[in-house]
Structure formats: C-alpha cells, structure tokens
C-alpha cells in the first residue's frame, strides 16, 4: 500500500486483531463503522438540503424552532461522523501495524532471523533524516571537507 492509497476497510470476513494494551485476541469487522459513516453522510446531506429548502420557502425565518432543531441535529451528526472517522482511522493503523508484525514473522521463517535483522537495520538507516542531505545551499563556501 502506497502512502497516498487508503485502506479498504469494507470486508467480507472479519480480521483477527490483538489488543495492543492487554494482548486479547478477537475478531473484528469494520463494516458497521463503514455503514454508520455512510448513513450519517446521507443524513447530513438530507438535513442540509431541508435547511436550504426551508430558507428558500421562508426567507428571513431561519431563527424559528424547526430550523434550530435541524441545525442542532446537523451538528450532532457531524460530531458523530467525526468520531466514527477517528475510529476508522485508528482501526486502519492497527490493522496495518499487525499486518507488518505478521509479515516480519513470515520473513524470519523464510530467510532467517539474522538476515531479517540486517534488513531491518538497513531500513532504519534509510529512514534517518540527514539535514545536510536536505539542506539547500545556494551561497556557501562548503567544499565537502
């Protein structure tokens, strides 16, 4: 998965996860989160269109009780949508982390622990940030010494 790609969390089968805090194994299916996000998006767009229609039909009366209730419901749905999106993001991160752990174990079985450790050290060296590699030096007397 590239950096720009999103993980597809709609699943036909649940995934096996392990709690990072207590180590409890459980199966988890994210379809309910995805369904709730879809439902809330539909409700939000429906409320927004109803509010626009109300403004069109009753100009200057968008301080009445119906409009206030619709506005409150809209805010509640938006807040709930944000919570579901946070849960979806946390789940995607945890799934990716546990996939990488399983991948590391499989690589260790195939090529051995020593070679795997060498590859991990190489990867860590590649991740290091060197300021002098990234620095833009236009006017300098630096001669590489």
Q: Mark the ranges of the chain whose per-residue pLDDT is less than 70.
A: 1-12, 62, 129-145
Predicted local confidence at residue 76, as pLDDT: 97
Of 106, 45, 113, nearest to 78 (Cα)? Answer: 45
Predicted local confidence at residue 6, as pLDDT: 52
Predicted local confidence at residue 58, as pLDDT: 85
Please, are residues 33 and 84 in contact by the beta-carbon 8 Å criterion?
yes
Exposure b/e, 108-118, CB count within 10 A at least 16 = b: eeeeeeeebee
Q: Where are the alpha helices (DSSP H) in the chain?
A: 31-57, 65-111, 113-127, 131-134
- 111 phi/psi in degrees, rounded to 5: -110, -5
pTM of model > 0.85: no
What is the token pair recorded at 120?
């991990």
């Amino acid at each position: 998965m590239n950096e720009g790609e999103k993980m597809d969390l709609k699943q036909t089968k649940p995934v096996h996860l392990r709690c990072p805090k207590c180590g409890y194994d459980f199966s988890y299916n994210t379809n309910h989160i995805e369904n709730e996000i879809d439902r809330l998006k539909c409700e939000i767009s429906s409320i927004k269109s109803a509010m626009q229609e109300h403004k069109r039909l009753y100009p200057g009366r968008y301080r009445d009780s119906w409009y206030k209730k619709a506005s409150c419901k809209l805010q509640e749905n938006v807040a709930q949508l944000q919570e579901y999106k946070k849960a979806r993001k946390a789940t995607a991160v945890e799934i990716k982390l546990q996939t990488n752990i399983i991948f590391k174990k499989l690589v260790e079985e195939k090529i051995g622990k020593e070679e795997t450790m060498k590859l991990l050290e190489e990867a860590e060296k590649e991740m290091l940030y060197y300021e002098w590699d990234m620095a833009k030096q236009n006017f300098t007397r630096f001669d590489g010494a």
